[in-house]
Amino acid sequence: MRVVQEAEDFMVFEVEGEDQSLLGVLTERINSLEGVQYAGYRLEHPLTGIVSVSVKVDPSKTTPRGAVMKALKDLSDLVEKLESKVMELR
């Protein structure tokens, strides 16, 4: 992950080599957070494998980096819960 642009209310970062499915889930989670006005991603070019993610927030409620970190933590917690449930089924 590489931050391309960052301001008080806006951030763009690039992700290389990750599936769009993962970024779709990430941006969906970011969009659900309080203070987030917009989060979306776009595939720069199919051959490069680089995806740009943009996040726009209300700076009185959160920061772009804070929203991304919160969403990543939430998704990590969800994966842990799922793994636990799968282990219980064994």
Q: What is the pLDDT of residues 29-86, one digit of tens each?
A: 999 999 999 999 999 888 888 999 999 999 999 999 999 999 999 999 999 999 999 9
- What's the pTM value of the predicted model, to 2 decimals? 0.89
Calculate mean pLDDT across residues 7-25: 92
90 residue type, one letter: R
Instruction: Assign residue 53 the CATH number of its domain.
Output: 3.30.1360.10
Total domain count, the chain: 1
- At residue 6, what are phi and psi to the nearest 5 degrees? -150, 135
Structural domain range at position 69: 2-89
d(CA 50, CA 86): 32
